Amino acid sequence: METTSTIIVIIVLAVFGIIMLASHVKTVKHQTAKIVQRLGKYRKTLEAGLHVLAPFIEKIAYVHSLKEQAIDVPPQVCITKDNISVEVDGVLYVIITDAVKASYGVQSWRFAVIQLSQTMMRSEIGKIELDRTFEERETLNAAIVRAVDEASDPWGIKVNRYEIKNITPPDSIKEAMERQMKAVREKRAMIAESEGEKQARINRAEGEREAKIAQAEGDKQGMIKRAEGEAEKILKVATATAEGIKKVGTAIEQTGGKEAVALRLGEHYLEGFANIAQESTTLLFPANLTDLASMIATGATVFEKTKSTTSHPSKLKTNEKVEQTEEKLEEDESIS
């Protein structure tokens, strides 16, 4: 019986020892730090791996994640420089660089950085007007990161960045801002419309100017072509006239040419009087109208004198030829 009792006690003590030993064997995950205290005093920091603690006198007091953590900063009311209340919230991204400082430097580092972020946000918002709060997000974020990171350095906390999620003004301010933005958009629309109308007028004016220039160029070319045509026509008429005169002169030199000219002059003479009779009621006839032979002879004499003067231009001038012709006509009339 005594032997059996001894065996049972040994087994119980062995099991109890194994349980106690197992409870003091700790496994630490990657990117995790555990703070060990011995009799209430900091002993060491356990990093990733397997560790054995001294039974009864050592224990794990704090466990910290060394990963970057996103901490939600609750919404808070801030007053801008122009005395407008806005509600602002954000997200803070931090990482623990020293687990010992995070454990013993502050009561609760998470609560501390949240409060510090809110305080700095109220301070920075109070420096700018409402309209600029939406434009200065990057400036506000950088200022909060700089201030919180400097303040949390003794706590073993590194602040990487801060992002403002929402800036919510009061409903009355929202309505005013919406009206303002609507007015700005309408103004831009009117400006854009006027600019378009202006450009359209400019384009139409330029088009009309180009059309007038083209029309003027066309008219100019047309006038030039017409002038060239008239000049060519005149030249051809003059050439034809000269050629006809030349042929007439050649024909006169031939046998019977003079008689034909005299006959032609008589015909024209009679036709002239006929035309006068058709156009006027008053007629003046020469005294020898019935003497056709005398008129033809007179015309032949005028032709001979004209031909002689043309052949020898130095003999008589134009006025002298006219006077001689008139004297000859007067003599013929007096003879008749």
Nearest to 103, CA basis, from 34, 31, 47: 34
User: Exposed, middle or buried, 130 (CB in 10 Å: 0-12/13-18/19+)?
Assistant: buried
DSSP at 82: T
Q: Tell me: do 45 and 82 sit in the same domain.
A: no
Dihedral sign, CA of 54, 58, 59, 65? negative
Residue-number span of the structural domain to which 322 is assigned: 255-335
Domain termination residue (choose one: 112, 136, 169): 169
Rounded Cα gap, residues 79 and 90, in angstroms: 16
> Cα-atom radius of gyration of the chain, to the nearest Å?
65
Q: Tell me: do 133 and 150 sit in the same domain.
A: yes
Q: Tell me: do 75 and 108 sit in the same domain.
A: yes
Question: Which CATH number belongs to the domain containing residue 146 in this structure?
Answer: 3.30.479.30
What is the per-residue pLDDT across 54-80, written as a single tens digit (0 to 9) for each? 777 888 888 898 999 999 999 988 888
Structural domain count, the chain: 3
Q: Tell me: do 281 and 297 sit in the same domain.
A: yes
| pLDDT of the chain, 336 residues: tens digit per residue | 567 777 777 777 777 767 766 667 778 888 899 888 888 888 888 888 888 787 778 888 888 989 999 999 999 888 888 888 888 999 999 999 999 998 888 888 999 999 999 998 888 888 888 878 878 888 888 988 998 988 888 999 999 999 988 888 878 777 877 788 888 888 888 898 898 888 899 998 988 888 888 888 888 888 888 888 888 888 888 888 888 777 777 776 666 666 666 666 666 666 665 666 555 555 555 555 555 555 555 555 655 555 554 444 444 344 454 455 455 545 544 444
In a domain, 5, yes or no: no
Q: Tell me: do 42 and 83 sit in the same domain.
A: no
In a domain, 304, yes or no: yes
Q: pTM score, two decimals?
A: 0.50
DSSP H helical ranges for the chain: 2-23, 99-104, 109-125, 130-133, 137-151, 171-253, 257-279, 292-311, 318-335
In a domain, 323, yes or no: yes
In a domain, 149, yes or no: yes
Q: Tell me: do 263 and 300 sit in the same domain.
A: yes
Q: Tell me: do 77 and 58 sit in the same domain.
A: no
In a domain, 42, yes or no: yes
Rounded Cα gap, residues 222 and 219, in angstroms: 5
Predicted pLDDT of residue 240: 84
In a domain, 183, yes or no: no
In a domain, 8, yes or no: no
Q: Tell me: do 37 and 99 sit in the same domain.
A: no
Q: Tell me: do 74 and 23 sit in the same domain.
A: no
Q: Tell me: do 259 and 310 sit in the same domain.
A: yes
In a domain, 209, yes or no: no
Domain termination residue (choose one: 152, 169, 186): 169
Domain termination residue (choose one: 49, 65, 81): 65
Q: Tell me: do 105 and 82 sit in the same domain.
A: yes
